[in-house]
């Protein structure tokens, strides 16, 4: 289908474009961006959308989604979560392996791809196992995972047996030109903690995780990177010390990128003072000083992407005492609203905020998406910037309702999401 989107405010952080213009979509790709008098003569749209008053920007690319299926279907399914993603302006999800949904070889990669192709709501980029069964002992078949189309490998939050194994894993990944997604945590220092080590953990009497458990792991990985030359992406930064280390590593020319979860930019350790299990996350919510350092890291380019770290859970997973609940937030549907809140508060410009959700995460996984240029995939979001709405559990599309953001007010919502030029979500009121 050929589509003409007219009179939209076209925002493309990759090029810095921000103007009212028309976008021509043909055969799933962007044919041209042109004013009325310059639409290609050969272009015959089968549908024209008057987008006056709306924003048009690239589909969101989320580097961290725990999609659960296959293996944890009682928490969520690919159908439920990709539907939630499309309605939230997300067009690419990075599938993260976990012990119950391990990606040891090409078979689960192909299964995920086949299920997702049938659903047709988003693109899924799979991150495979760094070690066999994520046990941290034997290396996975990274060559096979690379051939199967994995965009990287990781051990997630599971520990690697020792630094010798980690060095070999980095060397093996480098051989196959794979990015290693590192979740920085020194498990011995973490010691089974569940909140940030500080005033709040002392007051509540909860086992704590010091910020050093993260920064030590970052420092160790950087030291190994210097030996191996591996391309590493650091996942879910939470501590000021980690931001400083990665800023220096980038200045020194390391092939390093990093992301932060959107909730870490709005919540702190103070949000767990009433033992709220919905604020039990990994890494834990840290201090206000850490939050400010994360924001500064986004501004100066130290942190490349904002992600959802979407972890849907069944109701029972959050009903035990705080330290016995499962960590994580169902956060696909708040990724874009929370990021745009940073624009309202003046913490980021609109170009910066959308860049952290589009072309910058795209570069981490070597995707051609995230840009509004001729020839790019027509993964697009039409957005109404003026609507006001309240986030409610009842309207969530994800199977997981575990969020601390219920009742929060947001400005702006997704009107329509297109994947390769095909509409995969359209808000009923806008039909």
| 333 Cβ neighbours under 8 A, 6+ residues apart | 84, 87, 88, 391, 396, 397, 398
If residue 57 lies in a helix (H) or strand (E), which one and from where to where? strand 55-58
pLDDT in tens, 38-60: 778 788 889 999 999 999 999 99
Q: How far apart are CA 252 and CA 128, in angstroms?
A: 28
| 44 Cβ neighbours under 8 A, 6+ residues apart | 2
For residues 387 and 285, membership in a common domain is answered with: no
For residues 418 and 275, membership in a common domain is answered with: no
Mean pLDDT of 78-106: 96
What is the value of pTM for the model shown?
A: 0.96
- Helix, strand, coil shares of the chain as percentages rounded to 5? 35, 25, 40
pLDDT band (50, 70, 90) for residue 430: very low
- Render the burial of 182-194: b for 16+ CB within 10 Å, e for the rest: bbbbbeebbeebb
Average model confidence (pLDDT) for the chain? 96
Residue 311 sits at the vertex; the CA angle it makes with 268 and 63, to the nearest 5 degrees, is 90
Concatenated DSSP letters for 336-384? HHHHHHHHHTTSS-HHHHHHTTTHHHHHHTT-S-S--STTSB--EEEEE
Bridge partners of 55, per DSSP, are: 9, 383
For residues 120 and 170, membership in a common domain is answered with: yes
For residues 320 and 346, membership in a common domain is answered with: yes
For residues 128 and 218, membership in a common domain is answered with: yes
Total number of domains in the chain:
2
For residues 330 and 413, membership in a common domain is answered with: no
Q: Does residue 168 sit within a domain?
A: yes
| 389 Cβ neighbours under 8 A, 6+ residues apart | 409, 410, 413
Q: Does residue 260 sit within a domain?
A: yes
What residues make up the domain containing 272? 59-364
Question: What pLDDT is stored for residue 37 in this prediction?
Answer: 60
Residue 327, CA atoms < 13 Å, CB-side half-sphere: 12
Using CA of residue 366, residue 335, residue 266, residue 282, what is the dihedral sign?
Answer: negative
Residue 347 sits at the vertex; the CA angle it makes with 344 and 350, to the nearest 5 degrees, is 60
Catalytically active residues, by annotation: 309
Q: Does residue 369 sit within a domain?
A: no
Give the CA dihedral 389, 394, 396, 399, nearest 10 degrees. 170
Query: Is the pLDDT at 431 greater than 70, yes or no?
Result: no
Mean pLDDT of 91-101: 95
Asked if residues 167 and 191 have their Cβ atoms less than 8 Å apart, the reply is: no
Question: What pLDDT is stored for residue 36 in this prediction?
Answer: 64
For residues 40 and 141, membership in a common domain is answered with: no
Structural tokens at position 131: 């070690």
Short-list 66, 107, 120, 108, CA closest to 331: 66
Chain centroid to CA 35: 33
pLDDT in tens, 358-398: 999 999 999 999 999 999 999 999 999 999 999 999 999 99
Short-list 418, 416, 420, CA closest to 375: 420
For residues 51 and 67, membership in a common domain is answered with: no
Q: Does residue 286 sit within a domain?
A: yes
Residue 163 sits at the vertex; the CA angle it makes with 182 and 304, to the nearest 5 degrees, is 20
For residues 156 and 68, membership in a common domain is answered with: yes
Q: Does residue 371 sit within a domain?
A: no
For residues 124 and 252, membership in a common domain is answered with: yes
Query: Is the pLDDT at 86 greater than 70, yes or no?
Result: yes
Q: Does residue 370 sit within a domain?
A: no
| Cα end-to-end span (Å), the chain | 18
**Exposed/middle/buried for residue 105 (C-beta within 10 Å: 0-12, 13-18, 19+):** middle
Q: How far apart are CA 329 and CA 338, in angstroms?
A: 13
Token pair 């604020």: residue: 279
Structural tokens at position 176: 């196959």
pLDDT in tens, 273-330: 999 999 999 999 999 999 999 999 999 999 999 999 999 999 999 999 999 999 999 9
Structural tokens at position 91: 């067009």
For residues 12 and 136, membership in a common domain is answered with: no
Question: Which CATH number belongs to the domain containing residue 175 in this structure?
Answer: 3.20.20.140
For residues 222 and 316, membership in a common domain is answered with: yes
Structural tokens at position 115: 């299920």
Question: Which CATH number belongs to the domain containing residue 413 in this structure?
Answer: 2.30.40.10
Token pair 């799933």: residue: 28
């Amino acid at each position: 289908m050929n589509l003409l989107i007219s009179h939209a405010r076209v925002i493309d952080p990759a090029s810095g474009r921000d103007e009212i213009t028309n976008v021509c979509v043909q055969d799933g790709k962007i044919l041209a961006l042109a004013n009325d008098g310059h639409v290609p003569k050969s272009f015959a749209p089968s549908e024209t959308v008057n987008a006056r008053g709306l924003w048009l920007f690239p589909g969101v690319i989320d580097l961290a989604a725990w999609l659960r299926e296959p293996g944890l279907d009682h928490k969520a399914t690919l159908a439920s979560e990709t539907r939630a993603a499309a309605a939230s302006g997300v067009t690419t999800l990075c599938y993260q392996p976990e012990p119950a949904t391990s990606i040891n070889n090409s078979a689960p990669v192909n299964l995920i791809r086949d299920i997702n192709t049938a659903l047709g709501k988003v693109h899924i980029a799979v991150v495979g196992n760094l070690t066999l069964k994520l046990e941290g002992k034997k290396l996975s078949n990274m060559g096979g995972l690379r051939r199967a189309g994995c965009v990287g490998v990781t051990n997630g939050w599971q520990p690697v047996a020792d630094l010798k194994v980690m060095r070999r894993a980095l060397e093996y990944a480098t051989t196959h030109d794979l990015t290693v997604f590192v979740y920085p945590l020194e498990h011995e220092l973490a010691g089974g903690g569940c909140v940030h080590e500080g005033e709040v953990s002392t007051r509540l009497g909860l086992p704590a995780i010091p910020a050093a458990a993260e920064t030590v792991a970052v420092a160790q990985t950087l030291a190994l990177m210097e030996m191996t030359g591996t391309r590493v992406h650091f996942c879910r930064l939470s501590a000021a010390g980690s931001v400083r280390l990665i800023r220096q590593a980038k200045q020194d020319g390391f092939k390093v990128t990093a992301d932060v979860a959107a909730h870490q930019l709005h919540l702190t350790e103070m949000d767990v003072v009433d033992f709220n299990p919905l604020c039990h996350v990994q890494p834990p919510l840290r201090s206000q000083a850490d939050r400010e350092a994360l924001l500064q890291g986004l501004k100066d380019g130290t942190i490349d992407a904002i992600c959802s770290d979407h972890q849907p859970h069944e109701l029972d997973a959050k009903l035990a005492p705080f330290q016995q609940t499962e960590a994580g937030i169902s956060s696909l549907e708040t990724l874009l609203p929370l990021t745009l809140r940073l624009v309202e508060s003046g913490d980021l410009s609109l170009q910066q905020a959308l860049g952290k959700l589009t072309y910058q995460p795209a570069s981490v996984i070597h995707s051609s998406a995230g840009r509004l240029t001729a020839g790019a995939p027509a993964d697009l979001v039409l957005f109404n910037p003026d609507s006001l709405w309240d986030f409610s559990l009842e309207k969530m599309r994800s199977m997981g309702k575990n969020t601390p953001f219920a009742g929060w007010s947001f400005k702006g919502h997704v009107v329509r999401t297109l994947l390769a030029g095909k509409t995969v979500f359209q808000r009923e009121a806008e039909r």
